[in-house]
Amino acid sequence: MNTQWNHLVEVVRLKIRGSATVASVVLSRTAANSTGNVLRTAHATALLAELHASCVFYRTLFKGSVLLCLAVFYFSVFSAGAEETDSVLNSRLIFPLESWHNHGSCIVECPNGDLLVCWFHGSGERRSDDVEILGARRVRTTGKWTRPFSMADTPGFPDTNCCMIIDPQARLWLFWPTIQANLWESALMKYKISADYMSPAGPPVWKTEKVLHMKPGDDFESVVQRKTEEYLESIGVSLAGEDPRNKRVRRWAENNYRQAGDKLTRRLGWFSRAHPYILEDRRLILGLYSDGFSFASATYTDDWGQTWHMSEPIVGGGNIQPSFARRIDGTLVAFMRDNGPAPQRNQVAESKDEGQTWTIARDHPDLLDPGAGNEILKLKSGRWILIHNNTEDGRHQLAISVSDDEGRSFRLGRYLEKTEPGKASFHYPSIIQARDGSLHATYSYFLPGGLGKGKEGKSIKYAVFDEDWILNRESR
């Protein structure tokens, strides 16, 4: 580590003095000597360009201090404090660490091979009226990320929890909620569609923008009550009796029954997180959840947005942010974050009718979950992978778990990130498999002290790897 630091000090001094050629050689040597981190010699030139841009910015910010501008770059690239026990094929921050809140990314591959990422950015989340949806593009021909650009912004309101998908007509869809009253329960879903989104510079050109209204079925109240009772029976909890646990559960259930009976409450507050899912090139399903009800649902369209229908609610104890995969027999499986009582496990539910009705949510025995977003993905090989924080408490390690039986059981594959609690957070991941079989993930990257003087730095990190890397256990 000291050798890497000394080399990078040399790079910064040379670059600031204008000696780019010599700095390139030094940085290449640094990359070649790096073990246990994400650098490779092949990426030295791109890293040098990033280093130069970072130095110019931070030299201005810190009034010419070489060591201070180096420190910020060093921590952002080398993931300071992280225990990187595995070597990812390539990973890097999409933009330098900053004090702004950057969170909740989603990645798609464009038809031309570019990668497009969106996330929300601002001074906070639902309580901050400056939050907007930003995006960036990794241009295939250059391998570089563009500067962030605006994807959606409702002036005076927070725009959060965005996700994207490209449909069979090669159109880009962007979904996100605008928060009406600085409460998650006041979320109003929106979406945009673009057929012109592959320019190497700038954001997509949007042709459609609509509000996505939520209208649960007329039987929503009775379904919530019936499935709540079924869920409580499945975990051995009764609404009767004077046990303190029963009293808490009774208050929770009665609150959900009351909300389900109110037309406005059940139509507001639903919003997205993970990738939508397209069934057989004809049905687009958007996973939803409500912090008010603390359970999930979905909405779907069979005519590409002309009409939408809400599914039956996916009822459980704190199961939110569904992500979908489909088994060979047609069963659609939802994997969900666990915001409920112990044990902290990923929640799963199944649908036999293409997402219209669902079983109650149940704990998955193999998948730890600390109450953080995750995504499921079916690979071309038939294996399923889940990218998630595999802890019961904390977001300090980000893992990929592997299933050979369509999600019924999982084993640990590899860690993308792993450190001690409190040193960093790697969370809210998004993952895709590209047409060439490579795997691409983005996730929120929060580093306490990353901006110096104890100030936390935040960015979105990108990683590319493949299935063989996940399955290779030799270097762990």
Dump pLDDT digits (tens) for 27-65. Answer: 433 433 333 333 333 344 344 444 444 443 344 334 444
Structure tokens at 143: 């391998």
Distance (Å, whole) CA 328 – CA 403 = 14
Report the chain's mean pLDDT, rounded to a whole number. 86
Provide the pLDDT confidence category of residue 88 given band limits of 50, 70 and 90: low
Residue 412 CB contacts under 8 Å (≥ 6 apart), including other chains:
390, 399, 401, 402
Query: Tokens 């969106």 map to which residue?
Result: 118
Distance (Å, whole) CA 337 – CA 10 = 45
Distance (Å, whole) CA 377 – CA 407 = 10
More confident residue, 47 or 234: 234
The CATH code belonging to domain 90-214+268-471 is 2.120.10.10
pLDDT at 77: 46
Structure tokens at 254: 């009665």
pLDDT at 473: 52
Q: What is the DSSP letter of 98?
A: B
Q: Which residues pair with 442 in a beta bridge?
A: 430, 462
Distance (Å, whole) CA 268 – CA 290 = 9
- Full DSSP string of 145-179: EPPPEEEE--TTS-B---EEEE-TTS-EEEEEEEE
pTM of the model: 0.84
Average pLDDT over residues 96-124: 98
Q: Is residue 469 helix, strand or coil?
A: helix
Residues 391 and 343 sit within 8 Å (Cβ to Cβ): no
Distance (Å, whole) CA 441 – CA 276 = 16
Dump pLDDT digits (tens) for 451-467. Answer: 999 999 999 999 999 99
CB atoms within 10 A of CB 299: 24
Q: Helix 66-78 to helix 44-61 angle, to the nearest 10 degrees? A: 130
Q: Cα-flanking dihedrals φ and ψ of residue 69, to 5°?
A: -70, -35
Query: Start-end ranges of CATH 2.120.10.10 in the chain?
Result: 90-214+268-471
Q: Which residue in 470, 462, 431 sits closest to 444, CA to CA?
A: 462
Q: Which residues pair with 398 in a beta bridge?
A: 417
